[in-house]
Amino acid sequence: MTAEILDDPSGREHLPEHAVLGRYRLVQRLGEGGMGVVHLALDRQGRAVAIKVLRPHVALDPAARARLSREVDTLGRVRSPRVAPVIDADIDGERPYIVTRYVPGVPLDDLVESQGPLDGDALHRLGSGLAEALDAIHGCDVIHRDLKPGNVLVVDGDPVLIDFGIAHVADDVRLTMTGLVMGTPGYLAPEVIEGAPVSRATDWWGWAATLAYAASGRPPFGRGSMDAVLTRVTAGDADLSGVDPRIAPLLYAALAPVPSERPHEREVVTALERYARGGLVTDVITVRPRPTAPATEALAVPRTSVLPLSRNPLSRNRSRQPIPPVAASLAPATQPQQALPDTRPQQPLPPTLVGAPATPAPATPVPTTGPPPGHELERTAYPQAPAPSPQGAPGSPGEQQVDPRIGRPSRSGTVAALLGLLTATAAVAPVVAALGLLLWMVLARTTDRSVTSLVVRRHEKGRRRSDVPVAVLAGPWHLLVGTVSAVFGAVMPAVIAVAGAFCAALAVVASRGSGSPQPDAFLPLAVGGALAGLLAWWGPGGAGLRRGTRSVVRGLSPGAGGSRVLVLLLLVAMGAAVAVGLTQGQPSWWPMTSPWADGSLLP
């Protein structure tokens, strides 16, 4: 098919039947997303393939071509029957496309929705099959980073992992230095939400969340706004009420917010196997630390630097570089599908060089089916237009957009210095400290809402020129909502601060053995201020405050040098507050008077 036939000013393709694109005859549109369309096609030998084609307006974006190129390079590294391999690609042409094996399966989310949750052997086959896929891609220094039910196809009970459009490659420096691509809320690991780099543990957490979905029939962290879902993820607030009680503790443990508290994936697979046989699963779980080093550390491994990326045949000349196709054949549509054989290796698959060309998976391929002329294809893995994100289809624009908060430095030292300043100020000027904390909560929450709103907008509609004007116009609304949420969020820290000051005053009296409690003294006020700051940070609704605070401090002090200067200034301010307190001899309640001045509030 020529580029002229494919072009459409509206950005949507209206393909005539049996149109031709390169060496492939397009048979039927299988699905589409905001960035592209996936077609079922036949090659010159009549074998069925899936072709992902970028939309005309998206193809003009160099970043979109770079993502498609990265997907080709990523799939070229992996050898596994649980991963749909790349067969051919044209990245530099007027209409870029990528050709992968056609997987005649059903998306896991559609399967669960139509047939109900999985249990027993079905759940074990899903877990062990996806574990095999992750072992294979991790063995090639690749992090999928968007493992979710919609990216898993089920063929006769066995899973195939698809859509490597936002995968993270160990030696892919250029595409990862400016920030990480946002995954799917609800399946994005909590440590990544908090700012940690992606690692293998990122995929294993998404694997556990996908298993929880399959076992319960609903997202483990619910639905709703992205901010609400991410808050539940970071708190470990998983809803597993629909999961079989025999394996619910197993999945709770695998979804722990702290990576070191999660059981090893082999233990989870073993427990699922025992569950499938009707045995107990809790006695095989042993929580132990797992390595959480980011995948980017693999840059130092010699095998990733033996050949430059440009040595890959697909990278050197993408315009016409077919890869040996898989041995798939067309059969009547009524032919039953053959299950993928279980070829799970005892050890991780051997890694391949960056420059190695993609070859078929070393296993008996799944026979594919093509629709006879004049007949529609059966309902399979690919939702019909305009359903979102089928196999290999570029997802909605948001799945490819950058969230500037993810993967950035958490600035823990700066945050600790802020807490120290709050504590010191609370000891010498408690009212000023309380007002300062409240104003900071308003600023941080407003910033977080603004950034989150922009990410959600791009997640749903893609990057647009109107993003900044819309963000500016929405600023007053974000300020209002941030102020209201900060006021309500400050109630509990204020109560705990007062209670903490009284307890500290009583502890001082107990240590002296005589006297009356003085909650308005330096030490009790400092304790109260510290408790208020810690509860605001880690208490209910603290996720927005944490994200917003880190965004603000990164903006105030860009780079490592700026961070050191800001920490130094905060330490100087803290020392000044202590000096003022020592000079005046007692706390200042300006612009108020001490509520304990007349002793009426003392116990």
Q: Render pLDDT for 184-198 as a digit per residue (tens, 0 to 9).
A: 778 888 888 877 788
pLDDT band at 227 (very low <50, low <70, confident <90, very high): confident
Q: Is 215 found in the same domain as 81?
A: no
Which CATH number covers residue 27?
A: 3.30.200.20
Q: Is 85 found in the same domain as 117?
A: no
Average pLDDT over residues 293-302: 40
Q: Phi-psi bin for 267: left (phi > 0), alpha (psi -120 to 50), beta?
A: alpha
Q: Is 477 found in the same domain as 442?
A: yes
In a domain, 363, yes or no: no
Q: Calculate the average pLDDT of the chain.
A: 74
Please check if 52 is assigned to a binding site. yes
Domain count, the chain: 3
Long-range contacts of range 344-350, CB-CB < 8 Å, 24 or more positions apart?
344/128, 344/132, 345/132, 345/135, 348/135, 348/136, 348/138, 348/139, 349/79, 349/80, 349/135, 349/136, 349/139, 349/140, 350/139
Q: How many CA atoms lie within 13 A of 365 on its CB side?
A: 23
Sign of the torsion angle spanned by Cα atoms 113, 114, 118, 121: negative
Residue with tokens 């294993």: 204
Q: Is 444 found in the same domain as 524?
A: yes
Do residues 25 and 41 touch, judged by C-beta distance below 8 A? yes
Angle (CA) 276 281 285, round 5° = 130
In a domain, 396, yes or no: no
Omega before residue 519 within 30° of 0, cis: no
In a domain, 88, yes or no: yes
pLDDT in tens, 510-530: 888 877 888 888 999 999 999
Instruction: Say which DSSP state 163 is in.
Output: -
Do residues 458 and 397 touch, judged by C-beta distance below 8 A? yes
Residue with tokens 């002329």: 373
Q: Is 517 found in the same domain as 482?
A: yes
Q: Which helix (H) or strand (E) holds 416?
A: helix 412-428
Q: Is 216 found in the same domain as 129?
A: yes
Question: Comparing 339 with 455, which gets the higher pLDDT?
Answer: 455
Q: Is 215 found in the same domain as 169?
A: yes
**CB neighbour class for 295 (10 Å; exposed up to 12, middle 13-18, buried from 19):** buried
pLDDT band at 403 (very low <50, low <70, confident <90, very high): low
Which CATH number covers residue 237?
A: 1.10.510.10
Beta pairing class for 142-143 and 152-155:
unpaired
In whole angstroms, how large is the CA radius of gyration of the chain?
28
Measure the CA–CA gap between 469 and 457, rounded to whole angstroms: 13
Domain end residue (candidates: 50, 74, 101): 101
Average pLDDT over residues 233-257: 91
Comparing 201-215, 265-279, 347-361, 409-423, which segment has the lowest mean pLDDT?
347-361
Q: Is 458 found in the same domain as 347?
A: no
- Give CA separation, 486 vs 448, 491, 540, in Å: 12, 9, 11
Residue 521 burial (CB count, 10 A): 17
In a domain, 369, yes or no: no
Measure the CA–CA gap between 221 and 396, rounded to whole angstroms: 21
Strands of 86-208, DSSP E = 86-90, 97-101, 106-107, 142-143, 152-155, 158-161, 168-169
- Maximal C-alpha separation, the chain: 97
- Residue of 340, 407, 403 whose CA lies nearest to 367: 340
182, two tokens: 């946002």
Measure the CA–CA gap between 98 and 95, rounded to whole angstroms: 10
In a domain, 447, yes or no: yes
Question: Comparing 389 with 420, which gets the higher pLDDT?
Answer: 420
Domain end residue (candidates: 69, 101, 133): 101
In a domain, 111, yes or no: yes
Measure the CA–CA gap between 145 and 148, rounded to whole angstroms: 9
- How far is C-alpha 407 from the chain's CA centre? 11
Contacts of 91 (CB under 8 A, 6+ apart): 65, 68, 69, 72, 98, 314, 318, 319
3-state secondary structure 519-588: CCCHHHHHHHHHHHHHHHHHCCCHHHHHHHHHHHHHHHCCHHHHHHHHHHHHHHHHHHHHHHHHHHCCCC
pLDDT in tens, 307-320: 333 333 333 333 33
State whether residue 415 is helix, strand or coil. Answer: helix
Do residues 104 and 205 touch, judged by C-beta distance below 8 A? no
Measure the CA–CA gap between 181 and 264, rounded to whole angstroms: 26
Do residues 257 and 190 touch, judged by C-beta distance below 8 A? yes
In a domain, 78, yes or no: yes
Q: Is 196 found in the same domain as 77?
A: no
Measure the CA–CA gap between 137 and 155, rounded to whole angstroms: 20
In a domain, 230, yes or no: yes
Q: Is 560 found in the same domain as 419?
A: yes
Look up residue 293 and give its amino acid. Answer: A
- The yes-or-no verdict on residue 282 having pLDDT over 50 is yes
In this prediction, residue 455 carries a pLDDT of 76
pLDDT in tens, 334-375: 333 333 344 344 444 333 333 333 333 344 343 443 444 433
In this prediction, residue 17 carries a pLDDT of 54
Angle (CA) 70 74 79, round 5° = 160
Q: Is 554 found in the same domain as 454?
A: yes
Q: Phi-psi bin for 116: left (phi > 0), alpha (psi -120 to 50), beta?
A: left
Do residues 128 and 100 touch, judged by C-beta distance below 8 A? no
Beta pairing class for 48-54 and 20-21:
unpaired
Q: Is 440 found in the same domain as 559?
A: yes
Highest mean pLDDT among 161-175, 243-257, 327-341, 464-478: 243-257
Sheet holding 158-161, edge to edge: 106-107, 152-155, 158-161
Residue with tokens 């993502």: 67
**Structural domain span for residue 577:** 412-584
Residue 513 burial (CB count, 10 A): 6
Specify the pTM: 0.55
Residue 598 burial (CB count, 10 A): 9
pLDDT in tens, 53-104: 877 766 777 877 777 787 777 777 788 889 888 888 888 888 888 888 888 8
